[in-house]
A and B are shown apart, each in its own frame.
Chain A
């Protein structure tokens, strides 16, 4: 299958979000052919390093969401003619009305959006029109219309200009030359319209090309969000108000601007959720946000991010033998959100009952807040004086701060191997990676109820409220006193993690969804044309191999392939025999079967 991977500020930029996940996806699904359409968010990102591309990536096309719009050819510099201007006015008025309205008007938004997309295809020059006086005037009348957002009514002229500027940037994907033949489009097989499936990462501007292609030729859209774009926008708006970057107009922090931009983002996300065939949130938290923003429940399938489990599965299981000097292990970056202070207080309680217990804090990266790290060290030194076995030996502190890579803990897995209990004391948490690593290592865990902790741990560890050192100490003591229970919990946690959080599970889920979407795709062009015939377009219609390469045996050529594959610049690494997706993806000894939340039908939490 030809899959168009649409990203915004992510893969293939090494500094991008979810670059690692996308890299594993294109690398792991060898039988498919990926074309990456990437939107960059800043000059630093655009000029920065890029990920190494696996052979499955056929082409990378990039565009900018920052800076001034690219000046077109000389013929494109002049404005629209009368007819095009009337069309632009009609479509932009629809879009502006939908954005400014208090009540969501999904149909108007969609009409305006696709109208502008068609206008850009036929007449080009959309960025210039979006920056024109006409656009500002239309936006102003939409803001002053009855039923407009309350905060938008007071928008002043600089506010309107700032909004128009941001809208132009956000709508830039509409006027790119990615969509095949048309004025200024480099057509043919390389275009986005030729893809069998669009996989958009994020429901922001990245989803726009997918929406447009779905609107034109009915390409199915799969939407993956590990961080919900709308939520990031809100958090970013909070940050932007405090920030004075060069390319953020000073007026961007004004309330009307923020409200209009947030409204645009929410409407765009709602349209993306409405049109996507399948939406895959990364955890229940993302899922709740998506539901809140208008995603239908039956489209949502939680796919947990896959994590490399190999170094941790090598750790020996907890043998259930009581340790005379048990070690509590905490890993992470020392920062206030992790609430290391609470952990130290809890450990003081633990020491009162178990005087031989030790605490190992493993820092996993440079601390963002060195002052907080220093504070924690001072607190540990005050709470726990150095101790020695007898009067003649040198003492050590029961609390050890160390880093991954130090002689004490050369690898992260070694830290988990030393642990009797792994503790997570965060007050704020997203997807708790260190918890999953502890589960892979087969260790019993005590964690605070923050972020996706409850969802990850299931019933295989102790969970207690955050900012409660006494409860944390009690839970740790319970586990320290009961080695058998510790061993049971650790084994259960490892089984759970291997079932839900491996890379293979993640790839398997997406591979299944790709095949399902292609099977349900309508054969004809357009979404409305004709009835849906299952398997009207087989997944093998386009096989990612070069026909003339000679590496492929005659028996492997798909007999019923509808269209001949075009020669490509690169071939799949392992096309011998049968396509690599048809071979078992996982190695021996690993659990079989997708996780319970992956199957069809909108299961999951």
Chain B
């Protein structure tokens, strides 16, 4: 590079541009060009292993998956240390410590973009399904068992009701037989409820309220009529009422299951709570409408099967309408209560049932009060209502009112995401456990089949057989899992 005139061009050597710059650099390029006689020439020298210009890039490539999914530089730092990169190694990458290196990796790695919001507003049918616990066996078998279980109350009722058995039995055996049948149906109902509730504890009040409601549906109208007009106190409702309610278990259980599944699908595709609520509201309305329709259809079928009266014959009968409304309202009320309880809100469910029970009890008390001396005319409004639509009016009014009351918490709670937590109901709830375990006496651990964990950070206990250790503290140890 001797006496080069200045002209603009790309630099060709690491030396100075010209005289002026070489003076500024203070170097003597001429001498550098002529090596000493004994020194090996450039091509004879051992090939120098060059560091790459960007030492971090290979590291980035090596850990690209880790860097892409890291949410924090510290996460990268922890993983790098687990791979044996310490501060001394970080100096190779021109960083003061691992944290600095991790920050550079974090900044340079292309973040995995969050998955695009799902395009389809309609949730896919295929996917995770709600688990029905406590029914072992493969999926198909489970489905069949479940369906058979929900159909069992109706079948039992259908078998028991038309049978002339109670009539032929002597009077002393009639009541035990009825009791036995009721117990059988109650047992089946309990099994269905347990399945539908998915392990949510119900407690006694809602169960008692449900029993009262069912009892009123079967015997209440007769009792009310007897209180108003006199006569035998025990006059059971028409047989189709019992048959309808027993068969309604099947669609109700299916609706509960369907609602849980549908809500879970909608949950998975929702980006915000508002969006989920907007999707869950139509679902809830649809499920309620479906249940209502199923109740009406079962009623019509049951009435036709038992009485042979086809639908719509004889025009709109006020008594028949009231009876239909009463049974439908009772069924809807029980269904909504179960739905609420199954999603972790047994308290509003119990309150709703309690309202219905209270109104019914009030009506009975009202009718009974008229028998007291001096209160003859007190039941006039009730008598007028019963005269218009039959005693079923009271049941329809009570259950309808309670259902409307229950609708508000149902819409509020069931359209919230917390009601559809994937884990809710997956565990068996545990009773209140004593948090304190006072040490009763010196309790020695059983001879350690489980050896005390041995980590470098936490050296071995006294008296333990000597062993060396060793797993590096740098290796991943999972929280929620014991040290190995």
Contacts and interface: CB of A to CB of B under 8 A. Distances in A.
Do A and B share a complex? yes
Interface of A: 9, 13-21, 23-24, 27, 41-42, 44-45, 48-53, 55, 57-64, 66-68, 70-74, 77-78, 131-133, 135-137, 140, 144, 151, 154, 156-158, 160-161, 164-165, 176-178, 186, 190, 204, 226-227, 230-241, 243, 245, 247-251, 255-256, 258-259, 262-263, 266, 282-283, 285, 288, 292, 305-308, 311, 331-333, 335, 337-338, 362, 364-365, 368, 404-405, 411-413, 426-434, 437, 449-451, 465-466, 503, 569-570
Contacts of A245: 480-481
A364 B468 contact: yes
Contact of B468 (A16, A249, A434): A434
A41 B469 contact: no
Contacts of A255: 69, 71, 112, 114
B347 interface: yes
A190 B267 CA distance: 46
A40 to B, nearest CB: 10
A68 B442 CA distance: 31
A194 B259 CA distance: 51
Interface string B36-68: 000000000000000000000000000000100
B421 A165 contact: yes
A170 to B, nearest CB: 10
Closest 9 CB pairs of A and B: A430-B473, A364-B468, A259-B71, A226-B457, A431-B456, A133-B416, A412-B466, A154-B114, A430-B456
A338 B470 contact: yes
Interface of B: 66, 69, 71-72, 74-75, 77-79, 81-84, 86-88, 97, 99, 112, 114, 201, 203, 267-268, 270-273, 275-276, 347, 413, 416-419, 421-423, 427, 429-433, 435-439, 442-446, 448-450, 452-462, 464-484
B117 to A, nearest CB: 9
B452 A140 contact: no
B453 A17 contact: yes
B438 A9 contact: no
B427 A68 contact: yes
A362 B468 contact: yes
Nearest to B92: A465
Nearest to B442: A53
Contacts, number: 330
A249 B422 contact: yes
Nearest to B459: A307
Given A71-B432, A412-B468, A430-B473, A157 B270 contact: yes
Given A249-B422, A428-B472, A136 B416 contact: yes
Given A13-B482, A137-B273, A262-B74, A18 B457 contact: yes
A451 B476 contact: no
Contacts of A282: 457
A249 B483 contact: no
B467 A451 contact: no
Nearest to B484: A368
* Secondary structure type dominating chain B contacts: loop
29 contacts: A9-B479, A19-B453, A19-B458, A49-B445, A53-B439, A70-B433, A133-B418, A137-B273, A140-B273, A154-B114, A156-B271, A158-B268, A164-B418, A234-B78, A235-B78, A243-B478, A258-B71, A262-B74, A288-B99, A305-B457, A335-B471, A338-B470, A404-B466, A412-B466, A428-B83, A430-B456, A430-B457, A430-B472, A432-B456
Contact of A262 (B72, B112, B467, B471): B72
A482 B238 CA distance: 108
Contacts of B452: 14-15, 19-20, 51
A193 B459 CA distance: 31
Nearest to B88: A449
A234 B79 contact: yes
B441 to A, nearest CB: 9
A332 B78 contact: no
Contacts of B78: 231, 234-235, 238
A62 B437 CA distance: 7
A227 B416 contact: no
A133 B267 contact: no
Contacts of B72: 234, 259, 262-263
A262 B480 contact: no
A133 B417 contact: yes
